[in-house]
A = this chain, B = another copy of it.
Amino acid sequence: MSQFPEPVNELIEKLTLFPGIGKKSARRLVFYLLGQSRDVAVDIAKAIVNIKDKIYTCSQCYNISDSDPCHICKDPKREQEKICVVQDARDVFAFEQTGSYRGLYHVLGGVLSPLNGVGPEDLNIESLLPRLENVEEVILAINPTRDGETTAIYLAKLIKKRNIKVTRVAQGLPMGIDIEYADDVTLTKALEGRTNL
């Protein structure tokens, strides 16, 4: 690697900090860029700085948006009495794409993880509580991992105290899976959650 000119090494190094980009992919990206015009490089550079300058974290739900409050929080047509709690802003976009949810969101910014030293104070939990007034249902849509479960149980306790209905998204077989290859936990959850036909 040390054979590359310094600016090339520098960019490769910076790119490998990204998730899922190793040295080989970083090198491929840099050489692709070298083959492009300067304008292309400048455009990408501008777009990178742009997302830091023009994207805000919504001060109500912690979703990312080009406005604060975000377009969901300030939309009076959304069902104000439902809040869907997710780990990450990406999950908001995933639900929005389905078009099947019309309530509000609250982005935790992670999950409780005692092993990694993530406690309730590290997540957007405190800020959820004042939002619960006039809310009828909180839907927990947290990833079904061990830390996710812990977080869901913690939140459920906290919210139920306020006499608000807490639900969680169903676990079961994803579309298109071959049952033979489904893992035990998924199969068990799918059985437990079976519905009448």
A42 within 8 A of B: yes
- Among B14, B32, B88, B90, point to the contact of A43 (Cβ < 8 A): B14
- Among B8, B52, B90, point to the contact of A33 (Cβ < 8 A): B52
The distance from the CB of A106 to the nearest CB of chain B, in whole angstroms, is 17
The distance from the CB of A177 to the nearest CB of chain B, in whole angstroms, is 19
The distance from the CB of A109 to the nearest CB of chain B, in whole angstroms, is 9
B46 touches A90 (CB 8 A): no
A65 touches B33 (CB 8 A): no
A14 touches B47 (CB 8 A): yes
The distance from the CB of A1 to the nearest CB of chain B, in whole angstroms, is 8
Contact A7:B66 (CB < 8 A) given known A31-B89, A31-B90:
yes
Stoichiometry, as copies per complex, reads: 2
A28–B53 CA distance with the chains assembled, in angstroms: 19
B11 touches A47 (CB 8 A): yes
Size of the chain A interface, CB-CB below 8 angstroms: 49
What are the residues of chain B within 8 A of A25 when measuring CB–CB? Answer: 20
- Among B30, B31, B42, point to the contact of A49 (Cβ < 8 A): B42
What are the residues of chain B within 8 A of A20 when measuring CB–CB? Answer: 25, 28-29
What are the residues of chain B within 8 A of A184 when measuring CB–CB? Answer: none
A14 touches B44 (CB 8 A): yes
A38–B54 CA distance with the chains assembled, in angstroms: 11
> Could you give 22 example pairs across A and B, Cβ below 8 Å?
A3-B93, A5-B54, A5-B64, A6-B54, A7-B50, A7-B54, A8-B64, A10-B50, A14-B47, A18-B32, A20-B29, A21-B29, A30-B51, A33-B52, A34-B51, A34-B52, A42-B49, A45-B45, A45-B46, A45-B48, A45-B49, A48-B48
What are the residues of chain B within 8 A of A8 when measuring CB–CB? Answer: 51, 55, 64
B48 touches A33 (CB 8 A): yes
